Amino acid sequence: MFEDKDFHVADDSQKWGCWCVAVARNENGVAVRSSKDPNGPTLHFNNNEWQAFLNGVKKGEFNPIGPVDIRLT
Protein backbone atom coordinates (compact mmCIF):
# COMPACT_ATOMS: atom_id res chain seq x y z
CA MET A 1 0.00 0.00 0.00
CA PHE A 2 1.20 3.50 -0.80
CA GLU A 3 0.54 6.80 0.93
CA ASP A 4 0.34 10.25 -0.67
CA LYS A 5 3.82 11.11 0.58
CA ASP A 6 5.25 8.16 -1.38
CA PHE A 7 4.33 9.61 -4.80
CA HIS A 8 6.82 11.70 -6.76
CA VAL A 9 6.81 13.44 -10.14
CA ALA A 10 9.71 14.19 -12.46
CA ASP A 11 11.65 17.38 -11.77
CA ASP A 12 10.75 18.73 -15.23
CA SER A 13 7.04 18.50 -14.50
CA GLN A 14 7.43 20.75 -11.47
CA LYS A 15 9.80 23.08 -13.32
CA TRP A 16 7.38 23.73 -16.18
CA GLY A 17 4.12 23.35 -14.28
CA CYS A 18 3.01 20.29 -16.24
CA TRP A 19 0.50 17.75 -15.03
CA CYS A 20 2.35 14.50 -15.12
CA VAL A 21 2.48 10.96 -13.89
CA ALA A 22 3.17 10.51 -10.18
CA VAL A 23 5.05 7.34 -9.26
CA ALA A 24 5.50 5.56 -5.92
CA ARG A 25 7.90 2.65 -5.43
CA ASN A 26 8.56 0.06 -2.77
CA GLU A 27 10.08 -3.42 -2.61
CA ASN A 28 6.89 -5.01 -3.97
CA GLY A 29 6.40 -2.83 -7.04
CA VAL A 30 5.21 0.49 -8.35
CA ALA A 31 2.03 2.57 -8.27
CA VAL A 32 1.22 5.19 -10.91
CA ARG A 33 -1.41 7.94 -10.85
CA SER A 34 -2.11 11.36 -12.31
CA SER A 35 -0.60 14.28 -10.42
CA LYS A 36 -3.63 16.31 -11.55
CA ASP A 37 -6.06 13.91 -9.87
CA PRO A 38 -4.31 12.24 -6.90
CA ASN A 39 -7.64 10.87 -5.65
CA GLY A 40 -8.38 9.25 -8.99
CA PRO A 41 -7.49 5.73 -10.07
CA THR A 42 -4.06 4.29 -9.28
CA LEU A 43 -2.41 1.60 -11.37
CA HIS A 44 -0.28 -0.99 -9.57
CA PHE A 45 2.53 -3.01 -11.17
CA ASN A 46 4.79 -5.67 -9.76
CA ASN A 47 8.54 -5.28 -10.26
CA ASN A 48 8.65 -7.51 -13.35
CA GLU A 49 5.82 -5.63 -15.06
CA TRP A 50 7.43 -2.28 -14.30
CA GLN A 51 10.83 -3.41 -15.56
CA ALA A 52 9.27 -4.63 -18.81
CA PHE A 53 7.68 -1.19 -19.24
CA LEU A 54 10.98 0.60 -18.51
CA ASN A 55 12.75 -1.60 -21.05
CA GLY A 56 10.19 -0.52 -23.65
CA VAL A 57 10.71 3.14 -22.74
CA LYS A 58 14.47 2.78 -23.16
CA LYS A 59 13.92 1.19 -26.60
CA GLY A 60 11.71 4.11 -27.67
CA GLU A 61 8.55 2.03 -27.88
CA PHE A 62 6.51 4.73 -26.12
CA ASN A 63 7.92 7.89 -27.69
CA PRO A 64 5.29 10.56 -28.42
CA ILE A 65 3.63 10.46 -31.83
CA GLY A 66 2.68 14.15 -31.84
CA PRO A 67 4.50 17.36 -30.94
CA VAL A 68 6.10 17.90 -27.54
CA ASP A 69 6.86 21.24 -25.87
CA ILE A 70 10.51 21.91 -26.71
CA ARG A 71 11.23 22.71 -23.05
CA LEU A 72 10.56 19.08 -22.17
CA THR A 73 13.00 17.55 -24.67
Where are the domains positioned within the chain? 4-61
Say what the pTM is: 0.79
Q: DSSP string of the chain?
A: ---GGG-B--HHHHHHT---EEEEEETTEEEEEESS-TTS--EEEEHHHHHHHHHHHHTTTT--SS---GGG-
34 burial (CB, 10 Å; 0-12 / 13-18 / 19+) is middle
Q: How many CA atoms lie within 13 A of 51 on its CB side?
A: 6
Q: 1-34 pLDDT, tens per residue?
A: 899 999 998 887 767 667 789 999 999 999 999 9
pLDDT band of 69, cuts 50, 70, 90:
confident
pLDDT at 62: 92
28-45: average pLDDT:
95
